[in-house]
Amino acid sequence: MAPVLVSLDAGVETITLNRPEKLNALTAEMHQRLRDALERAADDAAVRAVLITGAGRGFCTGQDLAERDVSPGAAPIDLSVSLGSHYNPLIRRMRALPKPIVCAVHGVAAGAGANIALAADIVVAARSASFVQAFSKIGLVPDSGGTWLLPRLVGTARAMGLALLAEKLTADDAERWGLIWKAVDDDKLAAEAKALAARLASGPTKGYGLLKRAMYASPTNSLDAQLDLERDLQRDAGRSEDYREGVRAFKDKREPRFSGK
Ligand code: LHQ
Instruction: Give 10-residue mean pLDDT values along the chain (261 residues).
Output: 97 98 98 98 98 98 95 94 98 98 98 98 98 98 98 98 98 98 98 98 98 97 98 98 98 98 96
Per-residue burial over 185-216, b = 16 or more CB atoms within 10 Å of its CB, e = otherwise: eeeebbebbbebbbebbbbbbbbbbbbbbbee
CA of 161 to the centre of ligand 1 (A): 21
Q: Is 242 in the pocket of ligand 1 (CB under 6 A)?
A: no
Distance 130 CA to ligand 1 centre (A): 14
Pair 17, 59: CB distance under 8 Å: yes
Structure confidence at residue 247 (pLDDT): 98
Q: Which residues pair with 49 in a beta bridge?
A: 12
34, 52 Cβ separation under 8 angstroms: no
pLDDT computed for residue 38 by the predictor = 98
Bridge pairing between strands 130-132 and 169-170? antiparallel
pLDDT of residue 115: 98
Beta carbon of 65 within 6 Å of any ligand 1 atom: yes
Question: 63 CB less than 6 Å from ligand 1?
Answer: yes
pLDDT (0 to 100) of residue 209: 98
Residue nearest to atom 8 of ligand 1 (CA): 63
For ligand 1, say whether the CB of 11 is within 6 Å of any of its atoms.
no
Q: Rounded distance, CA 248 to CA 125, Å?
A: 36
SS3 153: helix
What residue type is 196 in one-letter code?
A: L
pTM here? 0.97
